[in-house]
Structure 1
Amino acid sequence: MVALQLVLSGTALGCIYALIALGFVLIYKATETVNFAQGELMMLGAFCALVLMKFVGLPFLLAALVAVVGMACFGALMERCVIRPILGQPQFTVVMMTIGAGYVMRGLITMIPEIGTDTHVLPAPYRGEVIRIGPAVLGAEQVVVIAVTALLCAALYLFFKHGKVGIAMQAASQNQLAAYYVGIPVQRLNALVWGLSAVVATVAGLLLAPIMFVHANMGFIGLKAFPAAVVGGFGSLPGAVVGGLIIGLAESFSGFYLPEGFKDIAAYIVVLVMLVIMPNGLFGENLRKKV
């Protein structure tokens, strides 16, 4: 029973990591850029839902929907105003810009009185509920996290497999110049990818908030999701999900069976071992260039 509880809690936590890692991978596949503000996008989405519920009075589902739509627009706007002007510059420039954007978002949130400096509870209707399956006791939050992650992953699979826009995004991620020459609006697709990445991050924030509260520093969980993307293979969407589950399970079991402190470094131990054994990750591709 203890092992079952650890598997369930590790899977739920791994799903959060997987969603944030999906955001990393989506942007990297489309633009070969690593967005280190992904955790802050998650934090901002959770705060949007919190403000809509606390001050506007919207119910949870409606607030979550408005937050998702609003963050999709914010992600596309961020790509247009912050990222697009510096494309073509060295990768280090783009990385530093995303890190700076993350700090700006966190700083702006902390400047809002009565909101940014406190820790808040997102009043989800299922928070605190318990589901019993035989002798196993499951938190409703964990069940919702696993179910929503599975549905979102299935939706993304269908979108990229059968959707016209999804197929165009894959073509642009393979070769942007060739995609542009055959009439694919590459710049518009890049904005859509950033918007989609912000949507995934917002869903992760909405799922995480009832478990770990809403605060300005909750975006630091993105530092755990980044190893998940590396473990799965940085260019693979299924790899991001598998990597997130591996990191979540590693944290869950190390926190219970190993001495205190191992839980905080479990993700980085896993990624170091993976880089030694499989440098490209579980689903990474071996890329070769002829010079």
Structure 2
Amino acid sequence: MDVLQLLVSGLANGCVYGLVALGFVLIYKATEAVNFAQGDFMMLGAFVTLGLVNPEYAGLPFWVALPLVFLIMGAIGYLIDATILRVVFGQSQTAVIILTIALGFILRFIAGSIWGHEPQSLRSPLAFGDVRFGTVVLGTVDLAVIVVTLLLTLVLWQFFQKTKVGLAMQAASQNQMAAYYMGIPVKRVQGMVWALAGIVAAIAGILYASKGALEPNAGFIGIKAFAAAVIGGFGSLPGALMGGLLVGIIEPFAARYLPPGYSQIAPYALLILVLVFRPHGLFSQVRTKKV
């Protein structure tokens, strides 16, 4: 039963990685850019929620604060694209990567300046006890993380496959010039993607902060989430989730059965194996770019 408990714990943590990985994939699917600040978006979304909910700050009811958090993080994502990312529009991927890495440092500095660097706890109604399945104990937060992640992945996958906006986003990533001549407002579409990625990051941040303490360096979780996105297949939303689950499951088993410290390198060892034997990811859908 120890194995089942480790598996459940790994699934819950893996879902958080998967949610952040979804943000990576969202932006990549629509813009073919990699946002290395996605983990810091998650951290910022969690702190915005904490600032609105906790009694020592605004003290709003949790369910009243949620739509405000989504609005704020969506606006931040859109404004970052409109005011910063469009400056390097048409530049190399290296320029975008460096820019987003620098953006991550700035977001961590801002969060530390406003909320401090000491760990803080979010007053979340999601953490109200445990659910027992036989001998396996699952926290209500972990259950919420798993359910929300599965639903969000399904909704986003349907969004990209079935809606005109989702198809327009994919068309813009395939060929921006052709999409523009077909009447697709490319810049607006890309702004919407960044706004959506901000909202997804906020959801991940709320669930992450509900599980434990929060501090500005929590954004470094984005490194594991990036590994999860690559393992699953960088252009695949279900692949991002599956990659996150694999990373989350590997960690507790490595911590339990391998020498101390190996749990930290196990996800990256898996990443190297995937890159060597299946460079496009385990669940990727390789597509031919239309020109």
Q: TM-score range by the shorter chain?
A: over 0.9
Alpha-carbon contact 1:64-1:206 (below 8 Å) kept: no
Q: Percent identity?
A: 49
CA distance in 2, matches of 1:167, 1:31: 13
Hey, what's the Cα distance between the residues in 1 that align with 2:204 and 2:95?
A: 27
Post-superposition CA distance 1:225-284 (Å, at most 9, x none): 011011011111111111111111111211111111111111101100111111111133
SS in 2 for 1:138: strand
- The two structures, once aligned, show a CA RMSD in angstroms of 1.5
Matching residue of 1:148: 148
**Partner SS, residue 131 of structure 1:** strand
1:166 is matched with 166
Amino acid corresponding to residue 93 of structure 1 in structure 2 = A
2:15 maps to a residue whose letter is: C
Counterparts in 2 of 1:260 and 1:176: CA distance versus 1, 3 Å: same
* Contact residue 157 and residue 238 of structure 2 kept, 8 A: no
**1:180-259 residue pairs with structure 2 within 5 A?**
180-259=180-259
CA distance in 2, matches of 1:149, 1:169: 22
Aligned residue for 1:243, secondary structure, equals helix
Counterpart for residue 136 of structure 1:
136
Q: How far apart, in 2, do the equivalents of 1:12 and 1:230 lie?
A: 19
Relative to 1, partners in 2 of residues 1:144 and 1:80: Cα closer, same or farther, differing over 3 Å? same
Distance 2:150 2:67 in 1: 18
Superposition deviation, residue 94 in structure 1: 1.2
Quote the Cα distance in structure 2 between the aligned partners of 1:244 and 1:256: 19
Q: For residues 136 and 111 of structure 2, what CA distance do their matches in structure 1 show?
A: 39
TM-score of the two chains, using structure 2 as the length reference: 0.95
Secondary structure of 2:91 counterpart:
coil
1:79 and 2:81 matched:
yes
| Contact 1:75 1:198 survives alignment (8 Å) | yes
Counterpart position of 2:117: 117
- In structure 1, the residue matched to 2:48 is 48
> CA shift at 1:21, angstroms?
0.7
Per-residue CA shift, 1:180-205, capped at 9, x if unaligned? 11101111000001111111111111
2:28 aligns to what? 28
Report if the CA contact (8 A) 1:117-1:216 is conserved.
yes
Equivalence map 1:85-104=2 (5 Å): 85-104=87-106
Q: Distance in 1 between matches of 2:235 and 2:142?
A: 27
Give the letter for the 1:15 counterpart. Answer: C
Q: How many residues align?
A: 287
Deviation by residue 1:102-123 (Cα, 9 ceiling, x = unmatched): 10111112122xx222211011
Gaps of 5+ in 2: none
Q: Does the CA-based 8 Å contact 2:53-2:65 persist in structure 1?
A: yes
Q: Is the 1:15–1:145 contact (alpha carbons within 8 Å) kept by the matching residues of 2?
A: yes
TM-score by length of 1: 0.95
1:61 to 2:63 alignment = yes
Q: CA deviation at 1:173?
A: 2.1
Matched, 1:39 2:39: yes
Does the 8 A contact of 1:251 with 1:266 survive in 2? yes
Deviation, 1:37, is: 0.5
- SS of corresponding position for 1:184: coil
Q: Which runs of 4 or more aligned residues in structure 1 lie more than 6 Å from their structure 2 counterparts after TM superposition?
A: none
